[in-house]
Structure 1
Amino acid sequence: MARPLYNLMSLYKLKLKPETFRSMISLCVKMKDFEGAYTILTDAEESGETSTVSLYNVIMAGYFREKNHNGAQMVMSQMQIAGVKPDSETFSYLISNCDCEEKISKYLDELRRDGLQMTKHAYMALINAYSRLGNFDMAKQVALDKEIPPKCLSEVTSALVGALASNGKVSDGLELFDEIKQSGGYLEPKAAIALIEHTQTEDQLDRLYQLLEEVNEPGMWFDGCGRVLQYCVQHNHLDAAVDLLKQLKETNEMSTYMIVDQVFCQIWEMEPVNLDVGMELLRAVKELGLNVSRTSLDFLLSACVKAKDSQRAQQIWEEYESSGLPHNVLTSLRMYQALVSSAQRSTSKKSAEWSAAKKFYKTIPKEDPHVCCILDSCKITYNRKRGKRKAATKPSPGKQEV
């Protein structure tokens, strides 16, 4: 897409502005078309109309996003060949992606030797690099540098909070957040989201609400609210979860469906499965006027299989029908698995659960060999567990069975 558009511009001999060159290179990089990005870069250099260091930086950042450190170093080599000196942004990318402290020192020395200014991005790169390498003391020292411009101090300090939270030092990040609030400062939304994401211990709901108040950008607030909702589900704060779900719907109903699916996926992943919360959330979703998706019901039905709860599986099965979602082979298999797993609790093959499973088995289409394989696996698993249970209850020799 990017290259054909650029070729069209070249065909009509359009004179491109520096911003256009940068946008076209950025688009190529996002599409992982680095060859196309270099082609446009060469044309930009030949035009002489723009400073090409910023264009090299776009390509370098793209390589780092792809975890291609060799590609990023190749950009540095090509800059040297072309006689293009790196700027503070270049060194920020290099420092942020260092794999050892020796390289951090090397690039920092080069930055100073070239007489470049330490920008806020350079300070933030140092903080992130030291934190990722586990040297949190050095990361904190960077944030205390007296040369940081006052207008950048909040962003740099917030970067430290986010780096601490993202690298296993959540309690330190929360303490620093408290210090920021006590001094009358504020936390950048990105750092608040990082703290929300990594705060998983119990009794932190009030703190998460406080962090959510720091997020004033609508898109990021929605993301943060969804993460707090998942925390509530994890720690069984049902009333709070329903309230947050209502806020999400009022903010962006269409995007709320994605959050709801994630929550039901979380319920399925939990150990042990908390079906009480799952069923209550299902009820809340319906009361809020939200449509129940097939994805959500699939996760709930799978959770019933894990919990060996055929009664609730039947409720979910009926929910498909009331939501206008026709049953398919996958839902039928999950329902059968729920019935079989529930039947495993009984030692009698004449139990009501096993009778229900056998009756349901007859309704499942068996044309697909993969379906037959799963059905056979269910029966083998049931028979194996039933055999172990019978062996465990078999009377000892010389004793009569009661």
Structure 2
Amino acid sequence: MDILPRLRNRNIMIFCCGKMNKNTCYNCINNSIPEGKQIHSQTTARAFVVSTISLQQNTLINMYDKCGNCMDARKVFDKMTEPNVFSWNMILAAYRRHRLPQEVLTLFRQMQQTDVQSDQFTFSSILPVCASTGTIEYGMEIHKRIIENGFLSDIVVVNALIDMYAKCGSIRKARKSFDKMPQQNVISWNAIIAGYAQHGLVEEALETFKQMQLAGVKPDSATFASILTVCAKMGALEHGMEIHLRVVESRFLSDTIVANTLIAMYAKCGSIQKANGLFNKMPQRNVVSWNAIIAGYAQNWLTENALEIFKQMYLTGVKPNSATFASILTVCAKMGALEHGMEIHEKTMESGFFSDVVVVNTLIAMYAKCGSIQKAYKLFEKMPEPDVVSWSAIIAAYAQSGLVEKGLETFKKMHLAGVNPNSASFASILLACAKMEALEQGMEIHQKVIESGYLLDVVVVTALIDTYTKCRRIHKALRLFGKMPQRNVVSWNALIGGYAQNGLVENVFNIYKQMHLAGVNSDSSTFATVLPVCAKFGAFEQGKQIHLKIVESGFLSKVIVANALIDMYAKCGSLQKARKLFDQMHYPDVVSWTAIIAGYAMHGYRNDVLKLFEQMKHSGTNPDHIT
């Protein structure tokens, strides 16, 4: 049957459907590859003028691309005698849509060798590929071509350029491109704010956000999402609350993306009550909203609440995704709740996530942390193609179970399987060495780290520092620390923890001071490491100073920090301060109750101890063996 007349009767120019838009083939709308191929075979047998042939071929490329058939789109393109810029743009877009970045870059190089001049659409398509692959050198070459072709004044192209530089790690070049723009739109501002966010430059991101408002550019949902992510990442609660006010003023609170980011920000800053309040007021919730509140409870160690929310999610008919299962399985791992974990495992199978690599990796970690190493290994064994994360998870499983030799054996098998270790793999195996104080094996892994070129990786070097301090080789740890080109808060925490473990009290306080002088802010782990030292050695004055720092930093709402403070005050003889802190807690956990009960017991207040114990049981918190 000749179907061309039927298409023409629909007012379609050659094969382009005017009903949708002039670049969309009628058959693409119905995703009809067989019918599209039929048109293709009919049209190739007919005579067209050159310009009409080009239009026909471009439309066919578009049809095959939209129908998910990149191979046939390429075949059409390769047969073109004179592909124009539109043809090149379409085939580049097809490969980009099908997530084939290397093919996009190769095609672009081929295009540069022809007489066809790139336009703004070519550049705005190729730059995101450079961003996703981190090929900054190639991105810089394209930057030169943009200048040569006179597209540096095109706002879409420059926005893509800013994004590319930021994602490739050159925030300075991104800012330089931004500052040179004759006019910036909301996307330009979002790109540079997101760039600062990716690099953890909180002050710069917040300052740019203020400049954006002074320039009269109204923030959109992407702006708020970026700036709130910065606040969440750095635990900047006060800044986050200021942004919340701007969200309300700008009437973006009903925007699901913004509301979800606000929930995540409050949760990560330890203000779970505010996060929960926002969640309950949401007119519409998607799976990301549920994931944010579940992760929020998990991050704040409110594991029972997280499990309860997960049940509610099911009852409301919202289907969990891999991120939901990853969050809730992490909760089960934290609780050591094997039965709950096994129930969730069944649900992953019912929901069709049994082969999802992210979910399986989290299941392996959950079983390992719940002491079921056999189940963890069984899952790993069944994986058709375990990735580097899977290998790291099973190595970490052996590490947590104290099976150092098994961990090292698996690490060697990983090498034989042709999977190169990443920073997580090294960190996992070093955890095993640290836990078992296996110095020789740790030194062996140290050598592998050097050979693999990971000696500049902050995560790996931090794990090495931890291993050496646990093996009482503090001088080796200090040497590694001194050679680090970049140190983050985790690196400082590892050294502080090492000195604390080795009973070197003065060194603990000295390193803590040096860390602040270096401009690195403490996190909850820092405070949770330093405060027990104050408690153990009765360093009351230092403890009070650290308390002030905690209040300034906004970490008092973190349960782990509040618990360490209660314990410190109780052990330093200030039971009144300990009780005041406990009474101010919104969600005391089993550790909080145990700390205050232990405080009263230590001071001989028998009746108060028994009264608190009863209150604990009535609150729904189950005592553990320590209580």
What is the match of residue 184 of structure 1? 317
Give the counterpart of 1:135 among 271, 277, 296.
Answer: 271
1:8 aligns with 2:145: yes
Give the counterpart of 1:270 among 396, 400, 419.
Answer: 400
| Alignment map for 1:2-401 (pairs within 5 Å) | 2-14=139-151, 20-42=157-179, 44-46=181-183, 52-96=185-229, 97=231, 99=235, 102-116=238-252, 118-146=254-282, 148-149=283-284, 152-200=285-333, 201-203=336-338, 204-210=340-346, 212-213=348-349, 221-248=356-383, 250=384, 252-253=385-386, 255=387, 259-267=390-398, 269-270=399-400, 272-273=402-403, 291=417, 306=436
Shift, 1:100, TM fit: 5.8
- The question of whether the paired residues in 2 share the 8 Å contact of 1:95 and 1:125 is answered with yes
- The question of whether the paired residues in 1 share the 8 Å contact of 2:408 and 2:429 is answered with no
Deviations 1:319-358 (A, max 9, x none): xxxxxxxx99969xxxxxxxxxxxxxxxxxxxxxxxxxxx
Shift, 1:64, TM fit: 2.3
Deviations 1:13-52 (A, max 9, x none): 2478765433322221122322322333345544xxxx62
* Distance in 2 of aligned mates of 1:130 and 1:44: 35
- The question of whether the paired residues in 1 share the 8 Å contact of 2:404 and 2:436 is answered with no
Q: May I ask how many residue pairs the two structures share in their alignment?
A: 297
- The question of whether the paired residues in 2 share the 8 Å contact of 1:188 and 1:214 is answered with no
Shift, 1:213, TM fit: 4.5
* Distance in 1 of aligned mates of 2:445 and 2:224: 55
* Distance in 2 of aligned mates of 1:155 and 1:75: 27
- The question of whether the paired residues in 2 share the 8 Å contact of 1:61 and 1:93 is answered with yes
Deviations 1:288-329 (A, max 9, x none): xx84989799959x86x9599xxxx9xxxxxxxxxxxxx999
Q: What are structure 1's unaligned runs of at least 5 residues?
A: 314-326, 332-369, 371-402
- The question of whether the paired residues in 2 share the 8 Å contact of 1:95 and 1:104 is answered with yes
- The question of whether the paired residues in 2 share the 8 Å contact of 1:165 and 1:194 is answered with yes
Shift, 1:226, TM fit: 1.6
* Distance in 2 of aligned mates of 1:94 and 1:279: 42
Counterpart residue type for residue 400 of structure 2: M
Deviations 1:127-186 (A, max 9, x none): 12221233322211211215x33xx43332222112222332222111111111123222
- The question of whether the paired residues in 2 share the 8 Å contact of 1:229 and 1:241 is answered with yes
* Distance in 1 of aligned mates of 2:307 and 2:208: 39
- The question of whether the paired residues in 2 share the 8 Å contact of 1:232 and 1:240 is answered with yes
* Distance in 1 of aligned mates of 2:197 and 2:254: 21
- The question of whether the paired residues in 1 share the 8 Å contact of 2:228 and 2:265 is answered with yes
* Distance in 1 of aligned mates of 2:369 and 2:315: 30
- The question of whether the paired residues in 2 share the 8 Å contact of 1:44 and 1:52 is answered with no
Give the TM-score of the pair, scaled to structure 1: 0.60
Shift, 1:273, TM fit: 3.6
Identity between Structure 1 and Structure 2 (%): 15
Gap change, CA 1:69 and 1:293, over 3 Å in 2: closer
Gap change, CA 1:121 and 1:213, over 3 Å in 2: farther
* Distance in 2 of aligned mates of 1:42 and 1:133: 32
* Distance in 1 of aligned mates of 2:261 and 2:323: 15
Gap change, CA 1:265 and 1:271, over 3 Å in 2: closer
Gap change, CA 1:169 and 1:306, over 3 Å in 2: closer
Gap change, CA 1:206 and 1:10, over 3 Å in 2: same
Counterpart residue type for residue 242 of structure 2: K
Give the TM-score of the pair, scaled to structure 2: 0.40
- The question of whether the paired residues in 2 share the 8 Å contact of 1:196 and 1:227 is answered with yes
- The question of whether the paired residues in 1 share the 8 Å contact of 2:158 and 2:177 is answered with yes
- The question of whether the paired residues in 2 share the 8 Å contact of 1:197 and 1:227 is answered with yes
Gap change, CA 1:145 and 1:226, over 3 Å in 2: same
What is the match of residue 463 of structure 2? none
Shift, 1:222, TM fit: 0.9
Shift, 1:71, TM fit: 0.9
Counterpart residue type for residue 135 of structure 1: S
SS at match of 2:163: helix
Counterpart residue type for residue 40 of structure 1: S
Counterpart residue type for residue 7 of structure 1: K
SS at match of 2:281: coil
Gap change, CA 1:45 and 1:155, over 3 Å in 2: farther
* Distance in 2 of aligned mates of 1:78 and 1:10: 27
Structure with the greater relative contact order (CA < 8 A, sep ≥ 6): 1 or 2? 1
* Distance in 2 of aligned mates of 1:52 and 1:167: 38
Deviations 1:192-227 (A, max 9, x none): 2222234321424313414644886899x3123122
Q: What are structure 2's unaligned runs of at least 5 residues?
A: 1-135, 449-475, 477-627
What is the match of residue 464 of structure 2? none
Q: What's the Cα RMSD here?
A: 4.4
- The question of whether the paired residues in 2 share the 8 Å contact of 1:196 and 1:228 is answered with yes
* Distance in 2 of aligned mates of 1:212 and 1:291: 28
Gap change, CA 1:17 and 1:186, over 3 Å in 2: farther
Shift, 1:235, TM fit: 3.9
* Distance in 2 of aligned mates of 1:24 and 1:262: 37
